[in-house]
Amino acid sequence: MDVLRERAYDPAQRFDEVEVSCEWLDRRHPNLDLYQEFGPYTRSATSVWLPAGSWAAMEHYQDAPRQAPLAPATDTQVTAVEHVLGRPLPKLLRRMYTEIAIGGFGPRMDGFTHLIADQSSPYPPRSVPHVYENDRREGLPQWVELAPAGCSCYWYVSLTAPYPVYYYDWDAWDKHLPESPPPEQGIHHVAPTLAEWLWRWVEGCHLQWDEYGLQRGDDGFPFAGPYPLDPRPGEFQYLSPAPDPWAPHESMMRSYGSARP
């Protein structure tokens, strides 16, 4: 939890893509070719978003205070969210929200889904109970959204131990088609446990592409596992817990190299 907190408290690393002022860049580095230096990047009229930990981001935030981006959640707030879910949050996720912050850090530009949010505000951030209630109406039981993954894709954690993490692509399932594929069509299994997935992010792995490539599993089942890119592979077998109705069937499991030994 300490290393997760350290990254969350550092404004130059708390997101995968860090906002940097265009005015500051133009003043400090007027001849900098951003594309050549950092590759593809996002830009608005006033800001650019650069890779976490890049030299420009570190320089931009070198004097910024290291503190929580938002207030941590209280036990009462967590209990209220768990009441909506009907099940307790994984202990690690509960600790992240209560010991670090309710949101404001995490993967990509959006970060982890906020534990709570004021839905009456004009542009409220995504929150766990609000997303859960919407997803339940669409047929995604026993899941909690961890973070947006871009372009109608999201990371989820199962509420069934050992809390595997899934990448879900809503565009892979269109319930409005006359012969719609099952909603399982959009599921990709990406980590056997929440702890493994969080550790990858803490270590700076790009959760979507660099650490593993998404691929469809055998027999058409949309199973995905990380490519063993790490030079120190370790073997393990993910076994689907029986109460989890959407986990891949055991016969479709495959061993793959872990990101850590």
Q: Is the pLDDT of residue 232 over 50?
A: no
Could you give the CA distance from residue 118 to residue 127 in angstroms, rounded to a whole number?
Answer: 9
pLDDT per residue as tens digits for the range 127-174: 999 999 888 887 666 689 999 987 778 899 988 888 988 888 776 666
Over residues 173-190, the mean pLDDT reads 66
Q: Beta strands 17-21 and 47-51: pairing type? A: antiparallel
Q: What is the DSSP letter of 248?
A: P
Q: What percent of the chain has pLDDT over 70?
A: 69
Q: What is the pLDDT confidence band of residue 209, given thresholds at 50, 70 and 90?
A: very low
Q: For 10-67, how does the pLDDT look when each residue is reduced to its tens digit (9 = 90+)?
A: 999 999 999 999 999 999 999 999 888 888 888 898 999 999 999 999 999 999 999 9
Q: Regarding predicted confidence, which is higher, 135 or 178? A: 135
Q: Is 101 helix (H, G, I), strand (E, B) or coil?
A: coil
Q: What angle do CA 233, 230, 50 make, to 5 degrees?
A: 150
Q: Tokens representing 52?
A: 């976490």
Query: What are the residue boundaries of the structural domains of the chain, listed by start?
Result: 9-60, 75-257
Q: Residue 260's pLDDT is what?
A: 34
pTM of the model: 0.75
How many angstroms separate the CA atoms of 93 and 112, rounded?
A: 10
Number of Cα atoms under 13 Å in the Cβ half of residue 174 = 5
User: pLDDT tens digits for 53-97?
Assistant: 999 999 999 999 999 999 999 999 999 999 999 889 999 999 999
Query: Smallest Cα–Cα separation from 70: which of 34, 118, 130, 19?
Result: 118
Candidates 181, 183, 97, 84; CA nearest to 147 is 97
Residue 15, beta-bridge partner list: 106
